[in-house]
Amino acid sequence: MRPSGRELNEMRSVSIETDVTKHAEGSCLIRVGDTHVLCTATIEDRVPPFIKGSGLGWVTAEYGMLPRSTTSRMRREATAGKQGGRTVEIQRLIGRSLRAGVDRVALGERQITVDCDVIQADGGTRCASITGGWVALRLAVKKLMKAGDVTTDPLVSPVAAVSCGMYAGQPILDLDYPEDSEAGVDGNFILRGDGRLIEVQMSAEGATFSRAEMDTLVGLAEKGVGELVALQEQVTA
Closest among 165, 138, 122 to 32, alpha carbons compared:
122
Contact flag: residue 67 with a second copy (CB under 8 A): yes
Give the number of other Cβ atoms within 10 Å of residue 7's Cβ.
10
CA–CA distance, 26 with 136 (Å, rounded to integer): 5
Q: Are 69 and 119 in contact (CB under 8 A)?
A: yes
68 is in an annotated binding site: no
Contact flag: residue 202 with a second copy (CB under 8 A): yes
CA–CA distance, 193 with 228 (Å, rounded to integer): 9
Least distance CB 59 / a second copy (angstroms): 11
125 is in an annotated binding site: yes
Interior/surface letters 77-91, b for 16+ CB within 10 angstroms, e for the rest: eeeeeebeeeeeebb
Stretch that binds a second copy, among 11-19, 59-67, 127-135, 161-169 (CB under 8 A): 59-67
Stretch that binds a second copy, among 8-16, 45-53, 82-90, 147-155 (CB under 8 A): 82-90
Least distance CB 215 / a second copy (angstroms): 8
Contact flag: residue 235 with a second copy (CB under 8 A): no
* Residue 60 phi, psi dihedral angles, 5° rounding: -135, 170
Site string for a second copy, 17-56 (x = CB under 8 A): ----xxxx--x------x---x-x-x-x------------
Is the CB of 17 or the CB of 199 nearer to a second copy? 199
Interacting residues with a second copy between 159 and 198 (CB under 8 A) = 187, 192, 196-198
184 is in an annotated binding site: no
Contact flag: residue 113 with a second copy (CB under 8 A): yes
Contact flag: residue 62 with a second copy (CB under 8 A): yes
Compute CA distances 115 → 26, 27, 40, 90, 170, whole Å: 10, 9, 5, 12, 34
Contact flag: residue 120 with a second copy (CB under 8 A): yes
Q: Which H or E run includes 40?
A: strand 35-44
Is the CB of 62 or the CB of 109 nearer to a second copy? 62
CA–CA distance, 208 with 184 (Å, rounded to integer): 8
Interior/surface letters 36-58, b for 16+ CB within 10 angstroms, e for the rest: bbbbbbbbeeebeeeeeeeebbb
CA–CA distance, 141 with 201 (Å, rounded to integer): 28
Contact flag: residue 85 with a second copy (CB under 8 A): yes
Output the known binding site. Answer: 86, 124-126
- Give the footprint of a second copy on this chain (CB under 8 A): 21-24, 27, 34, 38, 40, 42, 44, 62, 64, 66-73, 76-83, 85, 87-89, 92, 96, 99-100, 104, 113, 115, 117, 119-121, 187, 192, 196-211, 214, 218
